Every structure is written in structure tokens, then in C-alpha cells.
Amino acid sequence: MKNSRSTQLFQEALKTIPGGVNSPVRAFRSVGSDPLFIKKAAGCKIYDEDGNEFIDYVGSWGPAILGHCHPTVVAAVKAAVDNGCSFGAPTELEITLAEMVTKAYPSIEMVRMVSSGTEATMSAIRLARGYTGRDKILKFSGCYHGHSDSLLVKAGSGLATFGVPDSPGVPADFAKHTLTAVYNSVESVRELVTANKDQVACVIVEPIAGNMGTVPPNPGFLEGLRELCTQEGIVLIFDEVMCGFRVAYGGAQEVYGVKADLTTLGKIIGGGLPVGAFGGKKEIMKHLSPAGGVYQAGTLSGNPLAMTAGIETLKLLQAPGFYQDLEEKAKFVAEGIAKAAKDAGYPIYSTRVGSMFCAFFSKEPVYDWDSAAKCDTKAFATYFRGMLEEGIYLACSQFETAFVGAAHSQADLEKTIAAAAKCFKAL
Ligand code: PLP
């Protein structure tokens, strides 16, 4: 595969952009190569600066559920540009998208738009703290909720350990308010809540973990969190930035039938433009400024282009059978890859919920961060580079989710399985 232009651009980028990229995971470091520079994308195909074409399973890290450049979305955004890119004043578009979100998620009675998933989770946490008057928050090891200070923390050693910052620049004094529990273990949450009685403002969880690979919730996990949070007066936040509108129109809450107090959204609801949102019970949301005292703001919040792309995307997702078709595609490719691995004598642990899937390079089941961390990341890196050579663009880390979109055709999926079969045989 020719990649001289990408290599040249990366060298140039390194001079003016830290690490050559504007978000760390794009750098391909964990798979031991340099990033490809992308020129354009259409449908499920993505094209780099050297003219290579790939079948894309990254989908801009989740938003591209319709594929890239859906003509209806593109036309609507082009028309919206003619009306102005940003006003810093309310628009009818914001009401339309808010109503679509509240209709899709019965637990969301009110919603506020922001510009990224990070802003959504950061603001939801501030709101939970302001509402409860408590400082501590509880998250799960291996769950990613964006890069705000409180959330860049994972478990130290042992369940009762207070948080330690994962990044220089996050004060330890601040991180100590973040408790970290074990994904899929209600017991680990109960222990921390008991040890910090009446101090925990919120539990924030990816109801389908997508940032340690794809890890579905075990039966009873989300229900257990719901019960505990209700008992203890803790705000339960489902971070559906990734799985919202992805696994079903009503996200994880529709699939598992468990309601959160607050929900964070992003990615798909912006149709590829920068968006985030958080919403939930009126009783909690009314504490948000200017209705209440918890401050939150944004120059570009509710941006008309992003609202337009979101509205058009959500309309298309309501087509009859949309999610069923998507699920069938994802099942076909995920099972095909797992079978290819098995046939090559290289068994993997395959997970999938709706159109999110992951091939864990592990013979053992993966159900939390510790079991995910045991994967053979070196073998994954070899597989990743092999797949790229075969024209398949996967996320450049074992601990990411692959996304199937409506634009993937049967031929694309079959080509992907054939490529995987070749790559597993070569391992
Ligand atoms: N929450 C989850 C579950 C995510 O997957 C992400 C990003 O991948 C975020 C929050 C942060 O969103 P953003 O990158 O838009 O800030």
C-alpha cells in the first residue's frame, strides 16, 4: 500500500500540531504505524491522501451510522449554511431536536445541547453535584467519558482506593473525589457507596461499554445500579454518547429497559457535526442555569448546522426496519470474523450489541477492564496493519468498538470477512 503522501503530511503536522494529531488515538501509536491522512469519505468508504480506498468501520468514531455524506443530510446542511453558521441566539431547530430526543428517550424530559460528548458528561456531573449537594462521583474502570478532570481517573489498586489522576495536570486533590468501581459488578459499587455513605452525587456508566472494546452489560448489572442509586439518592447517569441512537432509536435504555436519571448523548445526534447533549428528569434539569443555579454555557451550543445535521439524521433513523437491517449486517460481519479466526486456529472472543462489535484477541471472556487488558495487543496490531493492507479501516486499538453503518453492503461485509480470514491465517 502506497502511503508516501500520508507520511509526508504527518511529518509536516508534527511541526505545528502536538504529536501530529488533534486527538491522541488518531496517531496509530498503539499499532506501531503512522496515521493515514484522509481526503474524503462517501457511504462506507474512506479515501486517504495517497488515493487508497478502505471500507470504514470507524465511522468517525461512531457518528456515521448512515455512512458518510448521506445526500439528504448534506443537502440540508448546505441549505442551513446559507442562513448563517451561528447566531448565539435561540432557534426553532433546537426545539425540534430537543423534542426528537425527548420522544426517543422517555427518561429525558428536558435536554440541553452542548458541542461535544466531553462537555455533556462534564456538565451532567456538575448538575448531579449541584442537585445532590454531594462532591463524590463514581465511575467504572475502562469506561471513557471524555477528558474532563473528574473523569480522567481510573482505579488505583483495590476497590476502595480513591481515584488517582491518569494525566498530569489533573490535581490529585480533585481526582480524589472520583471513585472507581468494576464494570459489571454491582457489588463493587455497593462497597464504595457504603464506605462513602451520603457522599456520592452520581454513578456514571456506559450502559454498553464501548471504550474498552465492546463490553455488554451482564444481565442484572444496569438493573442493580438503578436499584442502588434509587435507594441511596444517587443520580444515575447513562453515558450514551456512543450507544445512543446506535443500538436502537432509544439507545441502551430501550434495549435493556432501564431508565437513567440523566443521559448524555453526542456523536450520532450531530450527524457528524460537533454536538453533545445531556438531559433527564425535569426535577434535576430545572437546576440548570438560567432556570437554576448550576452554571453551564456555550458560544456554539445548539449550533444551527449541527442541529440540522442531527435532525435529518434522526429522521432517517426512523425508517421502518432501519435498526433490524443494521443489526443483521453487524451480526453477519461479527460472526463471520469470529468464524474466520476459529477456522484459522486463532480463536477470539467476539462481542456485539446492535451495530457495535469487537474482536477481542483473547481466549477468555471479556466482561470488565481487567479481562479486556489481558488481550494480546501485539497480535491485534499485526491484524490491524494486515486489514489496512486489505482495504479495511478498523479503529487503531484493541480497546475500541467497530461500527457498522447503513451504507455497508453485503459485498463490503463479505470482503471484510475474507480479509480477516487472510489476516488471521497470517498471525
Ligand atoms: N462518552 C463516551 C461514551 C464516548 O465514547 C466519548 C468519546 O468517544 C465521549 C464521552 C467524549 O465525547 P467527545 O469525544 O465528543 O468529547
Q: What is the pLDDT of residue 20?
A: 96
Strand ranges, E, within 57-114:
110-114
Q: What is the pLDDT of residue 154?
A: 66
- pLDDT range class, residue 398, cuts 50, 70, 90: very high
Q: What is the CB neighbour count within 10 angstroms for residue 345? A: 9
Q: How far apart are CA 80 and CA 304, in angstroms?
A: 7
> Going by CATH, does the domain composed of 4-69+322-426 fall within 3.90.1150.10?
yes
Q: What is the pLDDT of residue 170?
A: 85
Q: Is 115 in the pocket of ligand 1 (CB under 6 A)?
A: no
Q: Are 67 and 403 in contact (CB under 8 A)?
A: no
User: Per-residue pLDDT averaged across 51-76, rounded?
Assistant: 98
Q: How far apart are CA 35 and CA 170, in angstroms?
A: 28
User: Per-residue pLDDT averaged across 220-245, rounded?
Assistant: 98
Give the Å distance between the CA of 201 and the centre of ligand 1: 21
Q: Kindly tell me if the per-residue pLDDT of 155 is higher than 70.
A: no
Q: How far apart are CA 210 and CA 223, in angstroms?
A: 19
ipTM of the complex as predicted: 0.99
Q: How far apart are CA 305 and CA 94, in angstroms?
A: 11
Give the tens place of pLDDT for each residue, 306-353: 999 999 999 999 999 999 999 999 999 999 999 999 999 998 999 999
Q: Is 183 one of the annotated active-site residues of the chain?
A: no
Give the Å distance between the CA of 347 and the centre of ligand 1: 30
Residue type for position 17: I
Q: Kindly tell me if the per-residue pLDDT of 51 is higher than 90.
A: yes
Q: Is 144 in the pocket of ligand 1 (CB under 6 A)?
A: yes
Closest Cα to atom 13, ligand 1: which residue? 117
Q: How far apart are CA 137 and CA 154, in angstroms?
A: 12
Q: Kindly tell me if the per-residue pLDDT of 211 is higher than 50.
A: yes
Q: Is 207 in the pocket of ligand 1 (CB under 6 A)?
A: no
Give the Å distance between the CA of 366 and the centre of ligand 1: 21
Q: Which residues are within 8 A (CB) of 323 and not within 5 positions of it... i.e. 6 or more apart?
A: 247, 248, 249, 317, 354
Please give the torsion angle defined by the CA atoms of residues 98, 100, 103 and 109, in that order, rounded to the nearest 10 degrees. -10
> Going by CATH, does the domain composed of 71-317 fall within 3.40.640.10?
yes
Mutational test site, ligand 1, from 145, 397, 403, max ligand atoms within 8 Å of CB: 145
Q: What is the pLDDT of residue 168?
A: 84
**Location of C-alpha cell 472472543:** 349
Closest Cα to atom 1, ligand 1: which residue? 145
- Kindly list the domain boundaries of the chain, sorted by start residue: 4-69+322-426, 71-317
Q: Kindly tell me if the per-residue pLDDT of 354 is higher than 90.
A: yes
Q: Is 267 one of the annotated active-site residues of the chain?
A: yes
Q: Residue 319: helix, strand or coil by DSSP?
A: coil
For residue 23, give the ligand 1 atom closest to its CA.
14
Edge-to-edge strands, sheet with 53-56 = 38-42, 45-48, 53-56, 392-393
Average pLDDT in the chain: 95
Q: Is 145 in the pocket of ligand 1 (CB under 6 A)?
A: yes
In this predicted structure, which of 147-156, 285-294, 304-313 has the lowest mean pLDDT?
147-156
Q: What is the pLDDT of residue 158?
A: 36
Q: Which residues are within 8 A (CB) of 328 and not within 5 positions of it... i.e. 6 or more apart?
A: none
User: Per-residue pLDDT averaged across 210-218, rounded?
Assistant: 96
Q: What is the pLDDT of residue 163?
A: 55
Q: Kindly tell me if the per-residue pLDDT of 156 is higher than 90.
A: no
Q: Kindly tell me if the per-residue pLDDT of 138 is higher than 50.
A: yes
Mutational test site, ligand 1, from 58, 144, 151, 243, max ligand atoms within 8 Å of CB: 144
Q: Any idea what the Cα angle at residue 97 is, between residues 94 and 103, rounded to 5°?
A: 135
Q: What is the pLDDT of residue 151?
A: 87
Q: What is the pLDDT of residue 262?
A: 99
Q: Which residues are within 8 A (CB) of 283 and not within 5 positions of it... i.e. 6 or more apart?
A: none
Which residue blocks in 262-404 are alpha helix, DSSP H? 282-285, 304-317, 322-343, 369-373, 377-389
User: Per-residue pLDDT averaged across 162-180, rounded?
Assistant: 81
- pLDDT range class, residue 29, cuts 50, 70, 90: confident
Give the tens place of pLDDT for each residue, 268-281: 999 999 999 999 99
Q: Are 264 and 117 in contact (CB under 8 A)?
A: yes
Residue type for position 88: G
For residue 143, give the ligand 1 atom closest to its CA.
3
Which DSSP string do the residues of 242-288 spell out, in sequence order? TTTTTSSTTHHHHHH----SEEEEEGGGGTTSS-EEEEE-HHHHTTB
Q: Kindly tell me if the per-residue pLDDT of 159 is higher than 90.
A: no
Percent of the chain with pLDDT over 90: 91
Q: Kindly tell me if the per-residue pLDDT of 157 is higher than 60.
A: no
